[in-house]
Structure 1
Amino acid sequence: MKIQFPPDEPTYNCEDMTIEFVAKVDGHPVTCAVTAEALEDHFGAASMRVDDLLQAFHGGRARIDDLARHYLAMDVGAPVILRSGHFRWKNAQPRERDA
């Protein structure tokens, strides 16, 4: 499965309070999202304001893409919503060299 993250600008979804971004899974677009809570808890968003959330998203984009890639592969390309707990789980996992 080939998973890519185009450099498209993410969007704010006010109903779900998420920042949405697109992944391409085997060339097909799949909507992914990260919650405002996750951006505050793990990426330093100063508030729930859109500008603060987008700034945190851009600053943490590599880690966000990495975790989205993990769940896209696990769920065979189904849409992903990353919540704060997903990042806590990822941070708690031993690295391969630690295991």
Structure 2
Amino acid sequence: MARALHPLLLVWFLLLLLLTATVAASFLFSGIVGFAIGVSIAAVKAGLIYWRYMHLDEEEPLLRIAALAAAAWLMILLVFLCADDLTRAL
């Protein structure tokens, strides 16, 4: 009978696959499409790290909601930062 991979090793392997996808996408796509693909892959990698390495899969639902709210708040701040930077004169 085959033994299943340890969950940490599985997530690590998925992160390596996503890293190769990021490198491949940087060579294949450029412009806004490449940026969108890169940010999407980065969000998936951050989600995997949040879920497994920060042990959110073992925590109670309230802590999961707090972590999701913190990530959402960070994204809101980054969007406003980009909007501020784009509206300033050079």
Q: Is the shorter-chain TM-score for this pair beyond 0.5, marking a shared fold?
A: no
With normalisation by structure 2, the TM-score equals: 0.28
Whose helix fraction is larger, Structure 1's or Structure 2's? Answer: 2
Whose strand fraction is larger, Structure 1's or Structure 2's? Answer: 1
